[in-house]
């Protein structure tokens, strides 16, 4: 069973700051997802990674398969980025269901 750890659990920053959220996992995977969950509960998929780096707007996600580690970066953070960011991994053994981290609660203050 994969263990997914995220850090930090909570993060408060000022608008404009560069944000980094980390995710590590214990067992090899076939894919890693970064998700965003707003207070109402709805989930938006931000990235799906199996190697390297992806960028979408102000968001950047990287993954190091050898080190079993991924990071999500937010550049020029804005209050509307305030949400819970969740790392989830898909196993390499054929099961497609995701294993989730506990999430990082991000608050960006104006």
We find the least distance from the C-beta atom of residue 76 to another protein, in angstroms, to be 26
Could you say whether residue 44 binds another protein (CB under 8 A)? Answer: yes
Under rule CB under 8 A, residue 96 binds another protein: yes
Counting contacts by CB under 8 A, is residue 110 touching another protein? no
Instruction: Report in angstroms how near the CB of residue 51 gets to another protein at its nearest.
Output: 12
Asked whether the CA dihedral 75, 79, 84, 88 is positive or negative, the reply is negative
Which residues fall within 8 angstroms of residue 107, CB to CB, at 6 or more apart? 10, 11, 12, 13, 82
Minimum gap (Å) between residue 106 Cβ and another protein: 16
- What whole-number distance in Å separates Cα of residue 68 and Cα of residue 41? 28
CB of 107 to another protein, least distance (A): 16
Task: Give which of 20, 26, 25 is closest to 8, Cα–Cα.
Answer: 20
CA-nearest of 67, 62, 54, 61 to 28 is 67
Nearer to another protein (CB atom), residue 33 or residue 68 = 33
Q: Name the residues that contact another protein, by CB under 8 A.
A: 30-31, 33, 35, 40-45, 48, 50, 86, 88, 90, 95-103
């Amino acid at each position: 069973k994969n263990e997914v750890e995220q850090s930090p659990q909570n993060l408060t920053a000022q608008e404009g700051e560069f944000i980094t959220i980390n995710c590590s996992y214990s067992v090899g995977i076939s894919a890693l997802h970064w998700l965003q969950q707003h207070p109402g509960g709805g989930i938006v998929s931000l990235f799906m990674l199996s190697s390297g780096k992806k960028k979408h707007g102000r968001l950047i996600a990287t993954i190091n398969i050898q080190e079993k580690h991924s990071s999500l970066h937010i550049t020029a953070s804005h209050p509307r980025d305030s949400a819970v960011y969740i790392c989830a991994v898909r196993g390499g053994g054929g099961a497609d269901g995701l294993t989730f981290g506990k999430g990082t609660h991000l608050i960006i203050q104006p």
